A and B are shown apart, each in its own frame.
Chain A
Amino acid sequence: SAVISQKPSRDICQRGTSLTIQCQVDSQVTMMFWYRQQPGQSLTLIATANQGSEATYESGFVIDKFPISRPNLTFSTLTVSNLSPEDSSIYLCSAGGKNYGYTFGSGTRLTVV
């Protein structure tokens, strides 16, 4: 299964700024996924990142707030823009497939002050 390197592992950001999270996969994968996990909660899908096309966003998540790049089959970034305290959460990237399972990056813990 794929190994995913995610960074930063944590950050403290000021309101109104942006944070970009990077994920690097050790093999080529068709789709990558970005999730948010709020404290004590389960994982919520933000968007699916496809190489060569626009990301597909879930209800409640918009491109202006969560722009995603997917320049090649091993890399993706998620930017959380115009930060507010409500964006404080853990953000996770994932890759894999339904036939062999999905792995996760180590997560990014974002605190907005």
Chain B
Amino acid sequence: QKEVEQNSGPLSVPEGAIASLNCTYSDRGSQSFFWYRQYSGKSPELIMSIYSNGDKEDGRFTAQLNKASQYVSLLIRDSQPSDSATYLCAVTGSQGNLIFGKGTKLSVKP
């Protein structure tokens, strides 16, 4: 059974700080990794995808992948109150579907 583990939080950071979200996965053969943001009452929104080891940056977001350690992280720089949401880590399953972690709730305090 493929699993994706995340700290459920809540993670609270002050405005302007760096928020660090972490995720581990069980299937060493996983190839594609995604971070979704989900606001309360809304559907998940894709914010980052990463496929190879190392860092990938997009604006204030940086995804980091370490396949040897089966670890994926998301850094949010200059965190804003509007970043307050649940962040879901996902990896692709055998059907091409996504397997989600339980999500980390982030709260950015003004």
Contact = CB atoms under 8 A, between A and B. Distances in A.
Interface of A: 1, 31, 33, 41-43, 45, 48, 56, 92, 94, 97-107
B88 A104 contact: no
B19 to A, nearest CB: 19
B46 A99 contact: no
* Interface size of B as a range: 20 to 34
B102 A101 contact: no
B59 to A, nearest CB: 16
Contacts of A102: 34, 46, 90, 98
B97 interface: yes
A96 to B, nearest CB: 8
Contacts of A92: 43-44
